Amino acid sequence: MSLAIIEKEGLHLFVAELLRQKNTVVGVKDQSAVSSIPGDSGFYTYAPINSPGEMTLSFDVTLIPPKKYLLPAYEQLLTFNLSPGSIKADAPKEELIIFGVHPYDIIAINQMDKVFSAIPQDNHYLERRKRTTIIGIDPVKVAPRAFWSSMGADTVAGGFDLMLTDIGQCYVVDVGSKKGASLLKTAPRTREAAPAEVKERDKVRAEARKRCDANRLSFSYLELPSLLDGNEEHVIWEEKSHLCFSCGTCNLVCPTCYCFDVRDDVSIDLKKGSRYRTWDGCLLSDFARVAGGGNFRGHRADRYRHRFYRKGQFIYRRFGDIACVGCGRCSAQCPSDIADPVTVFNRLKEGI
């Protein structure tokens, strides 16, 4: 499919049209613009927007990935009523457009799609996914801890409905689905991209990649599964995990972490209630604790190691994907700065 162009002034009109058509449009907001805390450097966040002007597309990375809309931090699965003895599953009904998703986050969503589609399917996730339109945007700014260029996540071939690249005077648009194609028809001032504009897109992408290369793995990310083989007893796990608070922040902000807990809520009359799932994290001390009190990952170092193996090897062995996309959120948000995959993996590679 050939690439399209949306003129800059056309984009606001396009977003206005999306807001008119669909239930919810989520875009990236710059929280530093609204922070009342003096000296707050702020952060970017995905949030519902009411007008095109609320949204920024030149963000480096958001604090929390867009997974929060596909696997909500709190998602009701069932409701029950014990009096008549009935129980029913809840289904998401809302149509959603997420506007402005970077390629690395789309790759993470593609991984979640694979996990939740694996038999037995998780229809709650799949239903929500089906109702979600993803409009991607190539990053121009690079977050200080990002290393997506060395995780093969600087561009993405699929998993989006539309993918935009800001080439200065306009956006080059790649259409990734029929849904994307029909949405694009509603955008004013579109046209086919000229070869020079396509070249410009490649240049913009290459420049961003180069900036991201400032922070990189010293080897190909495809070596990760074999690099981790035999490194289970490496001193780094014990050494770094001494500083781990077991707070689970790295899990919360990770776009490829999808583990959850299941809990019940009950009304005050003890008759009605709901079952919901909520994010959980393998760095939390009770994550692998069983009812009898045994804890199969009771040591901090074991939990810390598990996370890196899960990213670099376990998910690869199961689903064929490296479960780290180089967004750098974990390293940026870890209170004691021990979560950086670049530091850990490069150290393993050095063999010291």
Residue type, 151: M
Q: How far apart are CA 209 and CA 333, in angstroms?
A: 22
- Nearer Cβ to other proteins, position 245 or 319? 319
Q: Is 128 exposed, middle or buried, given 0-12, 13-18 or 19+ CB atoms closer than 10 A?
A: buried
- Nearer Cβ to other proteins, position 256 or 331? 256
By the criterion CB under 8 A, which residues form the site for other proteins?
A: 77-78, 80, 82, 85, 87-91, 115-116, 118, 120-124, 126-127, 232, 258-264, 266, 270, 273, 275, 277, 280, 282, 287-294, 296-297, 302, 306, 309-310, 313-318
- Nearer Cβ to other proteins, position 128 or 205? 128
Exposure string (b/e) for 293-325, b if CB count within 10 Å is 16 or more? eeeebeebbbbbbbbbbbbbbbbbeeeebbbbb
Q: Give the gyration radius of the chain's Cα atoms.
A: 22
- Nearer Cβ to other proteins, position 85 or 351? 85
What's the min distance (Å) between Cβ of 128 and other proteins? 10
- Nearer Cβ to other proteins, position 28 or 224? 224
- Nearer Cβ to other proteins, position 31 or 274? 274
What's the min distance (Å) between Cβ of 43 and other proteins? 27
What's the min distance (Å) between Cβ of 87 and other proteins? 7
- Nearer Cβ to other proteins, position 96 or 282? 282
- Nearer Cβ to other proteins, position 149 or 241? 241
CB distance 218 to 147 below 8 Å: no
What's the min distance (Å) between Cβ of 81 and other proteins? 9
For residue 120, whether the previous peptide bond is cis, meaning omega lies within 30 degrees of 0, is yes
What's the min distance (Å) between Cβ of 306 and other proteins? 8
Q: How far apart are CA 328 and CA 340, in angstroms?
A: 7
What's the min distance (Å) between Cβ of 242 and other proteins? 20
What's the min distance (Å) between Cβ of 261 and other proteins? 6
What's the min distance (Å) between Cβ of 274 and other proteins? 9
